[in-house]
């Protein structure tokens, strides 16, 4: 093989991301929360984001994911501070641009599991187009949107998920624009795994994250996560401890049926929680790996300059 050819790491089965044992015959222990937790989270006391972070640690611990197997990417926002608090490789990137960055990581390092966290503004305002395109390309990653129906970091502006009438610094008389429905948007954009959960139900959040991680494709989770500072009580109707209802996706729902997933997504708030849609189709990762493999076959044995020469010859 020519020196110019970079060997792509093999994709590791997602249900069992594995690293080499510490020594032959010695099983490597999963990380503990202490080993994976970084700085003390700077969120306001009571913020729903704490719960999502704690469950991410639990997932890493439970599934024995080691530092070198995981990447945590985020944009900008309170929720997007996430990678700071995780003691592993991660990126706190540009507002709305977490997904393109994560796409690069996912395509170039198929041995990693890429997790992306962010807010409703990051995902659906400035990052709205990236969301649609990453979903349609079916790039292998898990994207958790911590939806608090408001811009938290910048202190209470209307977000694309704020309900009609919501009073904020940008809508002093109440929001007049119709909110988007993240679940409908994800399904129609082509996401191959679409789930909904709420930070007040920890077991459910963990189950959704696990299922998304095991999915070979673009997995999207809308996780309701209350901003106690600027939208207190937003999700009480979904919280049985506050007199609300936590209604799971009906057991007979066919997750491969796009139309019925879309119908579930249309239910009035608090709606349903669980996996709405799941479908397996080739990922961009798999397709690109195929192209690279076939090109590598054509240039095997050539020196760097000969590969370059071939490109120049084609331009003549
Ligand atoms: C390019 C750019 N535009 C605007 C901002 C200002 N800004 C930072 S975070 C944010 C919105 C945050 O809301 P959301 O994504 O919902 O996250 P939350 O803080 O609610 O978790 C905005 C508008 C920015 N940092 N960069
Ligand atoms: S402002 Fe809201 S979203 Fe941000 S940390 Fe505080 S409670 Fe959480
Ligand atoms: Mg928000």
Mutate to test the pocket of ligand 2, among 74, 77, 120, 153 (most ligand atoms within 8 A of CB): 153
Going 184 to 189 to 192 to 197, the CA torsion angle's sign is negative
In total, the chain counts a number of residues equal to 316
Ligand 2 centroid to residue 228 C-alpha, Å: 6
Question: Atom 8 (ligand 2): residue with closest C-alpha?
Answer: 47
Sequence-distant (6+) residues with CB within 8 A of 242 are 233, 236
Over 50: is that where the pLDDT of 85 sits? yes
Prediction pTM value:
0.92
Q: Average pLDDT, stretch 173-183?
A: 98
- How far apart are alpha carbons 79 and 68 in whole angstroms? 23
Which residues, judged by CB distance below 6 Å to any ligand atom, belong to the binding site of ligand 1?
76-79, 95, 119-122, 126, 146, 148, 150-154, 159
Q: 228: CA distance to ligand 3 center in Å?
A: 11
- Of residues 21 and 274, which shows the higher confidence score? 274
Percent of the chain with pLDDT over 90: 84
Q: What angle do CA 257, 14, 72 make, to 5 degrees?
A: 100
Whether 54 has a pLDDT exceeding 60, the answer reads: yes
Instruction: Please list, in sequence order, all residues whose beta carbon lies within 8 angstroms of the beta carbon of residue 31, skipping any fewer than 6 positions away.
Output: 60, 61, 64, 65, 66, 67
pLDDT of residue 65: 92
CATH of 33-281, picked from 3.50.50.60, 3.40.50.620, 3.40.50.970, 1.10.10.10, is 3.40.50.970
Instruction: List the beta strands (DSSP E) in the chain.
Output: 70-74, 90-92, 113-119, 141-147, 150-151, 157-158, 193-198, 218-224, 274-278
Write out pLDDT tens, residues 214-251: 999 999 999 999 999 999 999 999 999 999 999 999 99
pLDDT at position 105: 97
| Reported confidence tier of residue 111, pLDDT bands at 50, 70, 90 | confident
188 has a pLDDT exceeding 70: yes
Find tokens 């370059």 and name the residue.
Answer: 308
Cα(262) to centroid of ligand 3, in Å? 23
193 confidence band (pLDDT: 50, 70, 90): very high
Which residues belong to CATH 3.40.50.970 in the chain?
Answer: 33-281
Beta bridge partners of residue 277, listed in sequence order? 194
């Amino acid at each position: 093989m020519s020196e110019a050819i970079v060997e792509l790491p093999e994709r590791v089965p997602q249900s069992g991301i594995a690293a080499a044992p510490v020594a032959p015959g010695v099983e490597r222990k999963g990380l503990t929360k202490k080993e994976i937790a970084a700085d003390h989270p700077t969120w306001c006391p009571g913020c729903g984001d704490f719960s999502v972070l704690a469950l991410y640690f639990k997932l890493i611990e439970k599934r024995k994911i080691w530092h070198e197997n995981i990447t945590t990417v985020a944009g900008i926002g309170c929720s997007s501070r996430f990678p700071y608090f995780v003691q592993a490789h991660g990126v706190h990137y540009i507002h709305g641009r977490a997904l393109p960055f994560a796409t690069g990581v996912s395509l170039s390092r198929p041995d990693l599991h890429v997790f992306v966290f962010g807010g409703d503004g990051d995902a659906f305002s400035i990052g709205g187009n990236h969301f649609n395109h990453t979903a349609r390309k079916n790039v292998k990653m898990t994207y958790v949107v911590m939806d608090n129906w408001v811009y938290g970091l910048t202190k209470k502006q209307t977000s694309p998920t704020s309900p009609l009438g919501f009073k904020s610094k940008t809508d002093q008389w109440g929001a007049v624009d119709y909110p988007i429905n993240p679940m409908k948007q994800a399904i129609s954009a082509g996401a191959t795994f679409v789930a909904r959960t709420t930070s007040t139900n920890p077991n459910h959040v963990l189950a959704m994250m696990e299922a998304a991680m095991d999915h070979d494709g673009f997995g999207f989770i809308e996780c309701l996560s209350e901003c106690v500072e600027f939208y207190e009580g937003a999700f009480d109707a979904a919280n049985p401890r506050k007199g609300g209802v936590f209604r799971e996706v009906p057991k007979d729902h066919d997750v491969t049926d796009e139309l019925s997933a879309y119908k579930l997504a249309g239910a009035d708030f608090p709606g349903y929680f669980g996996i709405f849609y799941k479908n397996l189709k080739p990922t961009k990762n798999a397709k690109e790996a195929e192209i690279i493999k076939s090109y590598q076959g054509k240039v095997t044995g050539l020196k760097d300059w000969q590969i370059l020469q071939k490109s120049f010859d084609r331009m003549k």
